[in-house]
């Protein structure tokens, strides 16, 4: 004889809180798996990006080694010599004294009736440029105008006119001694 299934004599339905709890548990599990999937996808992306960067680095290193191998040492040596010569030339030009600025300034400042018969330009060990010269002016007023022009310009400093003598033809002979502003003696192309 076969046993018949027994039917329960009573039935207790599950409570509503357990249904909500099961729903919350399922939703929490879903979000946890979703976050796990996202993290896994990101980790996979970072891994693949790292591999891509590593292969890119390898190709760039290969190109760099090829470029380094293609460099001619003689060409590099000639560029180094050129750089050294240019630096040396710049040093020489920075220390070069050119009196052309002084002569251009002298031409603009002196009246046409004042002229020099001799000029001596010198630079002392401290780098101060001096000018000494003898000359003549058509009149004492022309010499005074030259002195005023030097004073107003300011680049020919401490101009001292000495040994002033009036000649028989009413011209004035003089000796000039002055220092020059470094801007007048610096080389500029």
Angle between helices 140-153 and 100-109 (to 10 degrees): 130
Per-residue pLDDT, 22: 57
Any idea which residue has 């000018």 for tokens?
Answer: 131
Per-residue pLDDT, 70: 86
Per-residue pLDDT, 90: 86
Q: Which CA distances in Å does 112 have to 18, 33, 107, 146, 161?
A: 118, 101, 9, 10, 17
Taking Cα atoms as reference points, which of 63, 173, 61, 57 lies closest to residue 114? 173
Per-residue pLDDT, 162: 87
Structural contact between residues 97 and 83, judged by C-beta atoms closer than 8 angstroms: no
Per-residue pLDDT, 55: 94
Per-residue pLDDT, 60: 95
The domain made up of 100-185 has a fold known as Gyrase A; domain 2 (3.30.1360)
Confidence of residue 37 (pLDDT cuts 50, 70, 90): very high
Domain ranges in the chain? Answer: 20-65, 100-185
Confidence of residue 139 (pLDDT cuts 50, 70, 90): confident
């Amino acid at each position: 004889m076969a046993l018949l299934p027994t039917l329960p004599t009573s039935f207790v339905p599950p409570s509503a809180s357990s249904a909500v709890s099961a729903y919350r548990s399922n939703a929490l599990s879903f979000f946890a798996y979703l976050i796990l999937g996202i993290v896994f996808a990101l980790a996979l992306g970072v891994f693949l990006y790292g591999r891509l960067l590593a292969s890119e680095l390898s190709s760039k290193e290969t190109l760099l080694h090829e470029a380094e191998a293609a460099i001619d040492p003689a060409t590099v040596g000639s560029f180094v010599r050129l750089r050294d010569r240019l630096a040396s030339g710049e040093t020489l030009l920075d220390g070069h004294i050119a009196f052309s600025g002084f002569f251009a300034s002298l031409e603009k400042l002196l009246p046409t009736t004042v002229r020099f018969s001799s000029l001596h330009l010198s630079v002392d060990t401290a780098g101060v440029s001096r000018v000494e010269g003898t000359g003549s002016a058509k009149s004492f007023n022309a010499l005074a105008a030259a002195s005023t022009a030097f004073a107003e310009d300011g680049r020919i400093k401490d101009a001292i006119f000495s040994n002033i003598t009036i000649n028989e033809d009413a011209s004035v002979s003089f000796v000039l001694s002055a220092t020059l502003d470094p801007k007048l003696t610096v080389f500029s192309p």
